[in-house]
Chains A and B, each alone.
Chain A
């Protein structure tokens, strides 16, 4: 009993420190993991071997593999190329520019890291807006909001999806059949809503729109050879993700193989590539796994299961909708990764009590994914565009986000809820 109380205190204390942002989340995670294992050794419920087994290789391997591919693609100018190309095609027409930049950012971030995509596309967006003489805010916000929305569609689109897929055993194709249809509807409505919310800004016709035609996408592509090689490998990896089930491959295996092949083909300065890998994210994930493993070993979850008597009686749709809005509300204010990592064991406990948790996992996918749109600090992509906009004449403020971003979160969550109810049988299998 003592072990269980202390383990819960360590976990909740760490979450509180992460959410309050008093200390960097990776430092908190590592410290929490160290304390958890130490306590486990003293009270004899958890040790190094169990901690090592608690590391979810599927998640860590997939993240590392994809991060290496992105690190290879980052300096090639590929992201810049796409944004410049979108600018040219739009011929400087505001609405078309918003749609094209939003679409490019979404499609790229469905397969690659959202934050990297936004970090590399936002400066080019500011370039296009500045030479056109228009306000960049609608475009920057659309990129963050639409890429966060689009990221929910695929297994590799957003870290919570990777975590949920690993815990629930969802495949890449499961996301395409369950999540993608909902995301397509939510994304289109989000775009229509952005058009309405920014109608005043988008009505301004740039005086000299032809200036974007002077931009040459080819010239902005610094390293076409590397771009092509990495894209071919990435394409192969995505193809293998589709064939995950028939070939019995794990996404982590595919991603790490792709990283190895790409590295061997491009042969870059390896230290430069590894420096661009987001190690703090990987260490944070690993530390959270060790902490949750400690909770499990202490028997907290078994105890928790005995408390949840009668939960089987709750109608599953109601339960799912509650979880969707609960996780959305939380992830509007805090990082959706710790929320997901904390809620997954709860769902695992429910499953031991005979609850069909498959629809609950999908509710968590939608809630954790769409919830991040709600506030300026809701997702890393939001924070990034807000920070980049600070150097412009019209920075994105928290107040502005509440007026233009929060409606997008509410609409996407409402659409997800509606489709969740209508398509509920689909989400139960």
Chain B
């Protein structure tokens, strides 16, 4: 079960936080995803590092099929979001939440991450409170660790 492999010291931010605060938290704890929680501690969504980085990503990256011929990004390398953009609530960049309960099986958890292209999966208790987070590596290691015993128990 996922609860045996997840990290329990999970960092999250309230839905009233700003984009600036979310970025600071991601930098401070060196993490890739922040669950956004309501006052009761229930996740309402997530903010991924890539959602924050989308504020800096040049527009042409998503418009062109191929970028290999662009050897120097020039002015966009030093273009930063404006102060107004950073002071907007984090909910404008928030993605819909995908969470699992503590009792979720490892393969189901991995399959959800695989299908939704997630790198981290928030875990909630039966009453919906955020209790942990598991990364792809956490779950992958958990699944692969069972392989070492395959074939060994037979004489």
Residue of A whose beta carbon sits closest to that of B75: A133
CB within 8 Å for A84 and B63 given contacts A130-B58, A133-B79, A206-B75: no
Q: Does residue B92 face the partner (Cβ distance < 8 Å to A)?
A: no
Which of A97-137 touch B at CB < 8 Å? 122-124, 126-127, 130-133
Report Cα–Cα, A207/B76, bound state, in Å: 12
Chain B binding surface SS class: loop
Contact B64 A130 (CB under 8 A): no
Which of B42-87 touch A at CB < 8 Å? 58-60, 62-64, 66, 68-76, 79
Contact B59 A211 (CB under 8 A): no
Report Cα–Cα, A376/B137, bound state, in Å: 50
Query: In the complex, which of the residues A123, A207, A222 contacts B75, with contact meaning CB atoms closer than 8 Å?
Result: A207
Which of A189-217 touch B at CB < 8 Å? 206-208, 211-212, 214-217
Contact A208 B62 (CB under 8 A): no
Contact A131 B76 (CB under 8 A): yes
Contact B63 A214 (CB under 8 A): no
CB within 8 Å for A391 and B79 given contacts A214-B71, A215-B69: no
Q: Does residue A220 face the partner (Cβ distance < 8 Å to B)?
A: yes
How many chain B residues have a CB neighbour from A under 8 Å?
17
Q: Does residue A21 face the partner (Cβ distance < 8 Å to B)?
A: no
Residue of A whose beta carbon sits closest to that of B76: A130
Contact A392 B59 (CB under 8 A): yes
CB within 8 Å for A132 and B64 given contacts A215-B69, A215-B70, A391-B59: no
Residues of B within 8 A of A124 (CB): 60, 64
Interface 0/1 of A394-406, CB less than 8 Å to B: 0000000000000
Query: In the complex, which of the residues B69, B72, B79 contacts A84, with contact meaning CB atoms closer than 8 Å?
Result: B69
Query: In the complex, which of the residues A80, A84, A131, A388 contacts B74, with contact meaning CB atoms closer than 8 Å?
Result: A131
Contact B71 A391 (CB under 8 A): no
Report the minimal beta-carbon distance from A426 to chain B, rounded to whole angstroms.
43
Interface 0/1 of A125-151, CB less than 8 Å to B: 011001111000000000000000000
Contact A208 B75 (CB under 8 A): yes
Contact B63 A388 (CB under 8 A): yes
Residues of B within 8 A of A130 (CB): 58-60, 74-76
Q: Does residue A219 face the partner (Cβ distance < 8 Å to B)?
A: yes
Report Cα–Cα, A406/B79, bound state, in Å: 33
Which of A224-257 touch B at CB < 8 Å? none
Residues of B within 8 A of A211 (CB): 72, 74-75
CB within 8 Å for A123 and B60 given contacts A220-B69, A222-B66: yes
Which of B10-45 touch A at CB < 8 Å? none
Contact B75 A215 (CB under 8 A): no
Report the minimal beta-carbon distance from A326 to chain B, rounded to whole angstroms.
38
Residues of A within 8 A of B72 (CB): 131, 211, 214
Report Cα–Cα, A157/B146, bound state, in Å: 66
Report Cα–Cα, A131/B70, bound state, in Å: 9
Residue of A whose beta carbon sits closest to that of B71: A214
Report the minimal beta-carbon distance from B150 to chain A, rounded to whole angstroms.
44
Contact B69 A219 (CB under 8 A): yes
Report the minimal beta-carbon distance from B85 to chain A, rounded to whole angstroms.
10
Query: In the complex, which of the residues B62, B68, B70, B75 contacts A132, with contact meaning CB atoms closer than 8 Å?
Result: B75
Interface 0/1 of A362-394, CB less than 8 Å to B: 000000000000000000000000001001100
Interface centre among A124, A131, A206 (most CB of B within 10 A): A131
Residues of A within 8 A of B62 (CB): 391
Residues of A within 8 A of B63 (CB): 122-123, 126-127, 388, 391
Residues of A within 8 A of B73 (CB): 131
CB within 8 Å for A131 and B75 given contacts A126-B59, A126-B60: yes
Report Cα–Cα, A392/B73, bound state, in Å: 16
Report Cα–Cα, A332/B141, bound state, in Å: 62
Report Cα–Cα, A206/B64, bound state, in Å: 23
CB within 8 Å for A127 and B64 given contacts A215-B69, A391-B59, A392-B59: yes
Report Cα–Cα, A215/B74, bound state, in Å: 11
Report Cα–Cα, A132/B63, bound state, in Å: 17
Residues of B within 8 A of A206 (CB): 75
Report Cα–Cα, A124/B61, bound state, in Å: 10
Residues of B within 8 A of A207 (CB): 75
Residue of B whose beta carbon sits closest to that of A216: B69
Report the minimal beta-carbon distance from B57 to chain A, rounded to whole angstroms.
10
Residue of A whose beta carbon sits closest to that of B68: A219
Residues of B within 8 A of A219 (CB): 68-69
Which of A156-186 touch B at CB < 8 Å? none
Interface 0/1 of A36-70, CB less than 8 Å to B: 00000000000000000000000000000000000
Closest 8 A/B residue pairs (Cβ): A133-B75, A211-B74, A131-B74, A123-B63, A219-B69, A127-B60, A214-B72, A220-B69
**11 A-B Cβ contacts within 8 A?**
A122-B63, A127-B70, A130-B59, A130-B75, A130-B76, A131-B58, A131-B76, A132-B74, A208-B74, A216-B71, A220-B66
Sample of 15 further A-B pairs with CB below 8 A, known A131-B72, A208-B75? A80-B64, A84-B69, A123-B60, A123-B64, A124-B60, A124-B64, A126-B59, A127-B64, A130-B60, A130-B75, A132-B74, A214-B70, A214-B71, A215-B69, A391-B63
Interface residues of A (CB under 8 A from B): 77, 80, 84, 122-124, 126-127, 130-133, 206-208, 211-212, 214-217, 219-220, 222, 388, 391-392
